[in-house]
């Protein structure tokens, strides 16, 4: 077992108080763990501010954990003053006496034989598992209340991570929240395949320039299509020629240099998702939203926001998917509810949450969660696989939580940090 033992598993045992209550130091002194301390994920001792009773005396300080006590010197702690005041050295196997610089022996707790070995067996099986998620064959034993409680936490955790990323990116826009919101909203209209090209378009064509034309949808489309590089050709139809004339005037006025049209992708894509259709729909949304995009996230009711996204590409696109390429069947290219929900879930709501954090408005953070709970759960491969395991989210809040669980815990096998994994490994499943 020594060869397979990892420090991460020892951290797990220690932080979750999974050791037997009858403990003694290697020199036979009684030990009571009053508080295991707070785990440190940076440099320095593994656990800060622990409280340990050793031989009747209470000690407060830091704890270091190793597989073997000789790892102390292997890791160079004997030369680091940050480790000289350790109150307890916790090891799986004690193979060396460790002393402070003063020569005093550091109390050592050898935990081999002081925990249920079934836990390490389950953990090792998880690490070796080739199933879709490590606990696929045992998750059905976990209480559904525990799973839902964990998903509630993960849903908020996902919002916080997205929010932190937005806050970091604010520096790139010189703290212009509206510009960043505009860029990310544009990215959302790329729906993964063209998301980078859409965001590039919005970063090169700032909202400060675009909003000078927000009362004129033709000019909005001319700026967006021109900046995207779609107006560099010669056209037969009047509509693209009109856009081109308008763009040439505006490009000269605002010093706009078009993107390379090769950045845009059309392969293996349904025509309704072609960038030309999405750009026109984005233009319609901008014209409908007005001069202050933040009105979208300051709206009280989700239904009002959804109605704002009930916009269509301009009439030309009823019979076209590309410029100068008319089709027989006329169809209004309206933004569908599935697409609207994806934009809300991945952009609008995380920005609402971020706006609340930055402006110290917890009610806006709560509104973000409430909106996610009003939207139907997503339907993608991750969600469908969880449904096969009898975990079926009803709302987008929980489907987002499951996506976060899979990408940030299951994929990297962070079972020891997962509440579901903990329930199975520790034997708490019912």
Summarised one tens digit per residue, pLDDT across range 5-18 is: 999 999 999 999 99
Q: What pairing do the DSSP bridges indicate for beta strands 47-54 and 30-35?
A: antiparallel
Nearest-CA neighbor of 184 among 167, 199, 163, 172?
199
3-class SS at 51?
strand
Q: How far apart are CA 33 and CA 24, in angstroms?
A: 11
Q: Which residues contact 327 (CB under 8 A, 6 or more apart)?
A: 319, 320, 321
Domain that holds residue 225: 179-335
Say what the pTM is. 0.90
Q: Which of 115, 140, 164 is the last residue of a domain?
A: 115
Residue 254 located in a structural domain: yes
* Pairwise CA distance, residues 123 & 36, whole Å: 22
Query: How buried is 39 (Cβ within 10 angstroms: 0-12 exposed, 13-18 middle, 19+ buried)?
Result: middle
User: Is residue 240 a part of any domain in this protein?
Assistant: yes
Band of pLDDT at residue 292, cut at 50, 70 and 90: confident
Same domain, 325 and 205: yes
pLDDT at 428 over 80: no
- Average pLDDT of 117-129? 95
One domain for residues 208 and 315: yes
- Rounded CA separation 349/368 (Å): 5
Same domain, 110 and 201: no
Instruction: Please tell me the total number of residues recorded for the chain in this structure.
Output: 430
- 371: buried, middle or exposed (CB in 10 Å: 19+, 13-18, 0-12)? buried
Are residues 239 and 324 part of one domain? yes
Residue 39's SS3 state is: strand
Considering the domain boundaries, does residue 159 fall inside one?
Answer: no
pLDDT surpasses 50 at 352: yes
Q: For the chain, what is the mean pLDDT?
A: 95
Asked if residue 368 lies in contact with residue 350, where contact means CB atoms within 8 angstroms, the answer is yes
Same domain for 95 and 239, yes or no, is no
Q: Is the pLDDT of residue 430 over 50?
A: no
Is residue 400 assigned to a domain?
no
Average pLDDT in the 277-298 region? 92
Distance of CA 272 to the CA centre of its chain: 28
Which two structure tokens, joined as six digits, stand for 119?
A: 């836990």
On whether residue 144 sits in a domain, the answer given is no
Which residue do the tokens 């407060």 mark? 60
Distances (CA, A) of 188 to 22, 65, 192, 193, 229: 57, 45, 8, 10, 19
Work out how many domains the chain is built from and give that number. 2
- Residue 128 counted as domain residue: no
- In this prediction, residues 168-192 reach a mean pLDDT of 95
* Segment among 47-51, 99-103, 154-158, 319-323 with least mean pLDDT: 99-103
Same domain, 188 and 283: yes
Top-confidence residue, 429 or 34: 34
Both 227 and 321 in one domain: the answer is yes
Domain closes at, from 307, 335, 363: 335
Same domain, 316 and 189: yes
State residue 2's pLDDT score.
61
Per-residue pLDDT, averaged over 291-301, amounts to: 88
Q: pLDDT tier at 200 (50, 70, 90 boundaries)?
A: very high
d(CA 214, CA 195): 23
**Triad 220, 222, 226: Cα angle to 5°:** 125
Residues 323 and 199 in one domain: yes
Question: Is residue 279, in this structure, part of any structural domain at all?
Answer: yes
Is 403 within 8 Å of 395 (Cβ atoms)? no
Asked whether residue 100 falls in the same domain as residue 19, the answer is yes
- 247 lies in a domain? yes
Domain boundary among 275, 310, 335: 335
38-39 and 30-35 strand pairing: unpaired
Cβ–Cβ < 8 Å for 413, 134: yes
Q: Above 80 in pLDDT, residue 429?
A: no
Q: Which residues neighbour 60 within 8 Å (Cβ) at sequence distance 6 or greater? A: 49, 50, 51, 87
Between CA 166 and CA 300 the distance in angstroms is 22
Are 204 and 103 in the same domain? no
Co-location of 19 and 102 in the same domain? yes
């Amino acid at each position: 077992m020594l060869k397979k033992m990892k420090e991460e598993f020892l951290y797990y045992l220690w932080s979750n108080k999974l050791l037997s209550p009858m403990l003694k130091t290697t020199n036979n002194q009684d030990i009571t763990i009053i508080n295991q301390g707070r785990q440190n994920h940076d440099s320095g001792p593994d656990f800060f501010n622990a409280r340990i009773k050793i031989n009747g005396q209470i000690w407060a300080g830091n704890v270091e954990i190793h597989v073997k006590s000789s790892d102390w010197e292997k890791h160079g702690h004997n030369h680091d003053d940050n480790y000289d005041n350790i109150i307890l050295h916790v090891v799986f196997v004690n193979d060396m006496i460790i002393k402070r610089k003063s020569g005093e022996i550091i109390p050592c707790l050898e935990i081999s034989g002081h925990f249920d070995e079934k836990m390490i067996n389950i953990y090792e099986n998880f690490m070796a598992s080739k199933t879709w998620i490590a606990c696929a064959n045992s998750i059905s034993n976990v209480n559904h209340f525990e799973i839902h409680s964990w998903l509630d936490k993960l849903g908020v955790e996902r919002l916080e991570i997205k929010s932190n990323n937005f806050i970091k990116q604010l520096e790139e826009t010189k703290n212009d929240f509206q510009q960043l919101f505009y860029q990310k909203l544009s990215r959302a209209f790329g729906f993964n395949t063209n998301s980078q090209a859409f965001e590039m378009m919005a970063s090169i064509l700032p909202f400060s320039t675009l909003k000078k034309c927000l009362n004129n949808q033709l000019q909005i489309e001319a700026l967006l299509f021109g900046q995207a590089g779609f107006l560099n050709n010669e056209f037969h139809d009047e509509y693209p020629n009109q856009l081109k004339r308008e763009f040439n005037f505006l490009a000269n006025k605002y010093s706009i240099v078009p993107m390379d049209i090769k950045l845009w992708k059309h392969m293996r894509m349904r025509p309704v998702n072609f960038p030309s259709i999405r750009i026109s729909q984005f233009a319609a949304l901008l014209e409908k939203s007005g001069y202050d995009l933040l009105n979208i996230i300051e709206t009280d009711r989700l239904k009002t926001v959804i109605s704002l996204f009930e916009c269509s590409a301009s009439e030309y696109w009823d019979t076209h998917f590309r410029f100068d390429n008319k089709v027989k069947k006329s169809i209004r290219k309206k933004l569908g509810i599935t697409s609207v929900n994806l934009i809300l879930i991945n952009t609008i709501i995380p920005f609402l949450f971020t706006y609340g954090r930055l402006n110290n408005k917890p009610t806006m953070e709560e509104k973000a969660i409430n909106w996610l709970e009003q939207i139907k759960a997503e339907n993608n491969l991750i969600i469908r696989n969880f449904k096969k395991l009898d975990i079926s989210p009803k709302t987008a809040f929980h489907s987002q939580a499951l996506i976060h669980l899979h990408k940030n815990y299951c994929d990297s096998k962070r079972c020891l940090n997962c509440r579901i994994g903990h329930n199975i490994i520790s034997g708490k499943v019912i």
